[in-house]
Amino acid sequence: EEQLEESGGGLVKPGGSLRLSCAASGFIFISYSVNWVRLVPGKGLEWVAFISPNSDHIYYADSVKGRFTVSRDNAKKSLYLQMNSLRAEDTAVYYCARHSRDEGMDVWGQGTTVTVSS
């Protein structure tokens, strides 16, 4: 079964840092781009970041650019999101999602919750 599983969420103070991980299984990880998408309470889904299979194309939403860094380790079949200078508005459930431009985000993890609060 094709699966993604996020981890690393938690409670952090404003200005703090957190690193999310996403482990892939059941498919050839290196063949796919991956996105981070977050569900913001009361607001809906927001795309956060994209990374191509070989990490040669990386894009960020304006709201996180300069603070978040996406990376991947294809040998470990893992995706990461380093989040620095966290703000209250970053509070959300964070999902990793497999991406194919012609087939959409077709595999999603179960999500990991990040709460930024003092």
Partner 1 sequence: DIVMTQSPLSLSVTPGEPASISCRSSQSLLHTNGYNYLDWYVQRPGQSPQLLISLASNRASGVPDRFSGGGSGTDFTLKISRVEAGDVGIYYCMQALHTLPTFGPGTRVDI
- Site for partner 1, rule CB under 8 A: 35, 37, 39, 44-47, 50, 59, 61-62, 95, 97, 101-106, 108-111
Backbone φ and ψ of 43, nearest 5°: -125, -30
Q: Which is nearer to partner 1, 44 or 75 (CB)?
A: 44
CB of 64 to partner 1, least distance (A): 11
Q: How far is the CB of 13 from partner 1 (least distance, A)?
A: 27
Give Cβ neighbours of residue 32 (< 8 Å, ≥ 6 apart): 53, 98, 99, 100
In the chain, the DSSP E strands lie at 3-7, 10-12, 18-25, 33-40, 44-51, 58-60, 68-73, 78-83, 92-100, 104-108, 112-116
| Least Cβ distance, residue 76 to partner 1 (angstroms) | 22
CB closer to partner 1 out of 9 and 16 = 9
| The pairing of beta strand 33-40 with beta strand 3-7 | unpaired
> Residue type for 5, please?
E
Q: Which amino acid is at 1?
A: E
Cβ nearer to partner 1, comparing 50 with 80 = 50
Q: 30 vs 45, which CB is nearer to partner 1?
A: 45
User: Nearest distance from residue 6's CB to partner 1, in Å?
Assistant: 10
